[in-house]
Structure 1
Amino acid sequence: MNGNSQADELTKVRHAVGLFRKGAIAEAEATVRAVLAVFPASVEAWNMLGIILRADGKAHEALSCYRHALSEDVRHAGAWTNLGNAWKDIGHVETAIRCHQRAIGERPDSADIYHNLGIALMAANRFEEAIVAYSRGLLIDPGLSQVRWDRALALLSAGRWAEGWADYNARIGGLGLPPRSLPGKSWNGQKALGETLFVATEQGFGDALWSWRYLRQARARVGRLILECRPALLPLARAHGLADEIVGQGEVIPDAGLHCYQCSLPGIFTADPGSIPPAPYLSASAERIARIAPALADGEGKLRVGIVWSGSPTFQSNAERSAPLDRFIESFAMPGVALYSLQMGPQRQDLATLRGAPVTDLAPYLRDFTDTAAAVSVLDLVIMTDSAVAHLCGALGRPVWVLLPYSAYWMWGNGKTSPWYDSVRLFRPAVRGDWTGVFDATGAALSELAVKLKL
């Protein structure tokens, strides 16, 4: 290939990169495929096509692209680490780790490759090794806030909470928590009895419910507290009087001298599990309980079990933490047990595909989390995958069994119980993707409970 041809090839690949960064995925793919039609041995074009396909959810196709690139240049560090990313997406995490290690061998000064290695190690539950990988990346480039945030999650997963909280604020202003104009100065827990503190909402519903236990402690250190909530949580927050003033997300933010994001509160007040404020710290409305109780009357004399099989579909890893509805019915529809669906969102439509299934849909009664709290308080047990309702049950002190994926969210720890909620029991797979083992163990436990209660 002559110099001009190579320059033309690279110019067109760079153009595809620019289109990809702007979100023009289809146009970027067309551009790079046009490059390959002229330069079929282009390492950079094959590598870029793999990146595009992986971003479009086509990890299997991306594998082939990276292999093409490596067949032309076996020492191409970018293709090795991108191959590792694709293998991780497919669930081959040990292979992914080897690919990233090979990439580091070719380019040991790349913070991005160490970051990718850390992500793969986290997927393998190798937390301490992930911490080392992230730390090496930060030694190369200390300004990478996403790497620092990921290291925070690794440290928290490893139980090294004090160190984890030190990195936790790296999320602020980053990809996970875009910059906002908040009133006053950032609050780090100091006493300011004459000041008003604005606590800003962030992350998911479950994160909000988890953080609310700290509002009383925060309120004791300032003069006045304003809490921001997503709309579905507003009635629950107001019913409990969690702050001097409660505003909905999107409403005008009141004046305040200080501000703090809600998920920063645990890091201020909890250095270790022994300092976690106890649950329950929420309760259900008697009026809402009376309203929903008739919908559960047909389960009288049985073990009334609520089920939730999916979290929010907008959550990046929701597919990994969710399980099919038919698994729940197959495993838990047993004599002496009445099933009730607490599922909300698009996945509620799964019930329509299983006509005649022995499940009562409570969604028509659930206008917000206050109604869900009432339903949970009437049910004997909730069995579910990881989502906000698990935190609601824990905050209410109601029994909940949470079915976790192999690489679970750090908050659930590494055992069968949760340091955050005494009423939670955790069921984990022995190996990646082993939902059968999880449902088998949970079904056996449910059968044992039904026998114990003589149902």
Structure 2
Amino acid sequence: MPQDKRHQGDDLVALGLARLEAGDRDGALEHFRDVLTRTPGDPDALHGMACAARAAGRPDLAIGLAGKAIAALPAAHFHITLGRALHEQGHLEEARAALSVATLREPRDPRAHAALAGVLEAQGARAEAEVSLRRAVALRPRDPAPMLELAQLRTRGGDRPGGIALTRQAVALAPDRVESLDALAALLAGAGQAEEAEPVYRDILRLRPADPAAWANHGAALFGLNRHDAARAALEHAARLAPEVAETQNNLGLVLMALGHLPEAHAALAAARALRPEDSRIAVNAATVLADLSRTGEAEDLCRAVLARADAGADLDAARARFNLGTLLLARGAGAEGWRCLEARSRLIPITDDRGGNIPDWDGSAIESGAVLLRAEQGLGDTIQFLRYLPQAARRARLVLDIPESLHRLVRTMPDPDGTLWPRCRLLAPGAPPPPDIVARCGLISLPDRLGMPDVPAFSPYLLPTMARARQAAGVVRVGLCWAGNPSYRFDRRRSVSPAMLAPLGEVAGVSFVSLQHDDSGEGGAAGLPFALERPAQGDLLATARTIAGLDLVITVDTATAHLAGAMGRPVWLLNRFGGDWRWSAYFDLSTPSPWGNRGSRWYPSLHQFRQMRPDPPAHAWDEPVARMRDALARWRDGLR
């Protein structure tokens, strides 16, 4: 070919490749066809067609086109395209051969080494793959692309810290390269380093302010940090930019649910389900908001539908569906099936230590030799609630009780009327390994199922039951207040109360309030309360119990304080959110009317609820139950005088 025509052909091929690089695949294909019409068999045009075929998802066609190009001109970069196409078709050995030729023909081309690394990793030769990628990095040390590939290789090999460090290096080489920032943010989020991931997502948003995915990712990161209001704003903006993205609608629904906007949360999750009707994760989230809206029948049907799917045997979404189904069943009194379904929590609750990990589960049968390791699994409230089953468990086996140290002194106050509990139950020291006589293990919450006790056992006070209330000055009623739970709990905004919302209680004369908070949790902290608050000395749960024993009444949200006062048999009023936790459902109400709030609880007969009766907006959701509580408190005060 004459030199001027050769240059002309080169320019035409370059134009086609530029179109391909810009994402105009069809235009590139048409362009290369035109070049081949003018100069049949042109190797560069054939190679361009092979690149376009790969971009179109047709590696099979690319293999043939790249082969023809190589037959005419065995250029190294033609072998790279052939090797990548063979890799995509699953022909690993042939791909490795083609890419090895490329590295031999042009050993200074980092693309050849990087492509060869991908094949080597697919063949299980991870160490050789890393060597190839390090060659690519050495050949182009200022290029973030091979550095990022090396980081991803290290991460896939289990070295997440190494992957993060290399990705940071890639970001440092090109701080405004979105691909590197995306990779870094995902790695940090996956490593649980949410605080570090969030500003990276913010950087991506700065570079792509009109990108709905950038807004959605930033919103998800903010949600992970419990920054719900900011997360809502970001996700709503993402949904406006791209309303047909199921993941955005799903995350928006979760944020709205956490904020207490239940009808809006249901609408977002319904939209997500319509976009991805077979997605089990979205379906379980939708069932959760239905339960919170007290549409429990629909929620149960949705959970059962998830479990009925053929692929639902092993995934975590099925475990979530089974656990949620368990809470729905318990809430309506189907205890036997409900407790069994609750066992799915073993796949959902993170294990913070593996002590006893190889010990078999206890089935509840009598054990004559050895002991059962009985472990607290969740919060202090759950532990207190299920301690009531200890005497029954101790009749079947000797027990080693593994519970938080803050409960150790308190649990020793449990009565032992028939002398079978404490001779057969001992406490495990904090951090100590299970003793050698352990032959089985069981979670405290599993006891109703393992002991065959599907319904609530008869109640008598079982923590600090004999301590009498200290006499107070005439006319003074002492009321303990606990208005907030653990703020790290994702849905704490729904159960906790802003102190300012309790202002009506201060209108009741003759009442002295005592703080049962262990910190200033809650919006505004204690400073938001418009009345004086006594602060007793803090300590472990026994110290709190002794404070409660000196009170006339405890007012609390759904926290360990409710369980503690209830287990002591002390009067306790629970402010409970609409569609609240299963254990406070109407099924567990006492049959006798309550002179105070809603009916008392079979879990704790001295506990009376003041429920939200409607899914009102969060700003007003507590107005009505607090007003009822204020009036009840005035009547309670009069009854004590």
TM tier, smaller: 0.7 to 0.9
Whether 2:614 is the aligned partner of 1:443: answer no
More relative contact order, 1 or 2 (CA 8 Å, 6+ apart): 1
Is contact 1:333–1:358 with CA below 8 Å preserved after alignment?
no
Q: Distance in 2 between matches of 1:63 and 1:373?
A: 39
Does 2:375 align with 1:200? yes
The aligned runs of 1:355-434 (5 Å cut-off) are 357-361=531-535, 363-364=536-537, 366-414=538-586, 416=598, 417-432=600-615, 433=618, 434=621
Deviation at 1:196, TM superposition (A): 0.9
Aligned-pair identity in percent equals: 28
Match of 2:445 in 1: 263
Aligned partner letter, 1:387: T
What's the CA shift string for 1:110-165, capped at 9, x where partnerless?
A: 11211221222233232222222233333243322334323322332343322221
Return the structure number with greater strand share: 1
What's the offset of the Cα at 1:17?
2.8
Give the drift of 1:314: 4.0
Is the contact between residue 418 and residue 424 of structure 1 (CA under 8 Å) also seen in structure 2? yes
Deviation at 1:180? 2.6
After superposition, the Cα gap between the structure-2 partners of 1:441 and 1:21, relative to the gap in structure 1 and judged at 3 Å, is same
Alpha-carbon displacement from aligned partner over 1:289-348 (angstroms, at most 9, x marks no partner)? 6xx94xx74x44433322222233344433322223344454145233333333323449
**Code of the aligned partner of 2:636:** L
Shift of 1:15: 5.1
Task: Kindly provide the amino acid, as one letter, of the partner of residue 169 in structure 1.
Answer: E
Counterparts of 1:10 and 1:53, CA distance in 2: 20
SS of the equivalent of 1:393 reads: helix
Uncovered stretches (5+) of structure 2, i.e. residues with no partner: 1-17, 24-54, 56-176, 590-597
Relative to structure 1, the CA distance from residue 238 to residue 283 in structure 2 (aligned partners, 3 Å threshold; closer, same or farther) is closer
Q: Which amino acid aligns with 2:368?
A: L
Matched, 1:90 2:259: yes
Partner of 1:130: 299
Q: Highest Rg: 1 or 2?
A: 2
What count of residue pairs does the alignment treat as equivalent? 442
TM-score by length of 2: 0.62
Choose 62-71 or 401-410, whichever is displaced more: 62-71
Could you tell me how far apart the structure 1 residues matched to 2:432 and 2:22 are? 56
Q: Secondary structure at the match of 2:412?
A: helix
**Cα deviation 1:250-279 (Å, max 9, x = unaligned):** 233222111111111123346543x52322
Q: Please state whether the residue corresponding to 2:514 is helix, strand or coil.
A: strand
Partner AA of 2:393 in structure 1: A
CA-to-aligned-CA distance 1:30-62 (integer Å, 9 cap, x gap): 555555566555453343233223323444444
1:318 aligned residue: 492
Q: Is the Cα–Cα contact under 8 Å of residues 307 and 328 in structure 1 kept in the other structure?
A: no
User: 1:282 aligned to 2:463?
Assistant: yes
| Aligned counterparts of 1:239 and 1:123: Cα–Cα separation in 2 | 36
Shift of 1:444: 0.7
- Distance (Å, rounded) in 1 between the aligned partners of 2:21 and 2:198: 23
Contact 2:508–2:630 (CA<8 Å) still a contact in 1?
A: no
- Aligned partners of 2:20 and 2:181: how far apart in 1? 14
**One-letter code of the match for 1:213?**
R
Measured on the aligned residues, the alpha-carbon RMSD in Å equals 3.3
Distance 1:425 1:108 in 2: 41
Taking the aligned partners of 2:427 and 2:335, their CA distance within structure 1 comes to 30
Matched residue, 1:79: 248
Q: Which moved more, 1:314-323 or 1:36-45?
A: 36-45
- Of 153, 158, 175 in structure 1, the residue corresponding to residue 327 of structure 2 is 153
Contact 1:44 1:69 in 2 (8 A): yes
Cα offsets for 1:158-197 (capped at 9, x unmatched): 4332222112122224335556331732112112233311
1:234 equivalent to 2:408? Answer yes
Go from structure 1 to structure 2 and tell me whether the alpha carbon gap of 1:346 and 1:450 turns closer, same or farther (over 3 Å shift): closer
- Offset of residue 67 of structure 1: 5.0
**Structure 1 counterpart of 2:110:** none
What is the alpha-carbon distance in structure 1 between the residues aligned to residue 20 and residue 305 of structure 2?
Answer: 37
The code of the aligned residue for 2:376 comes to T
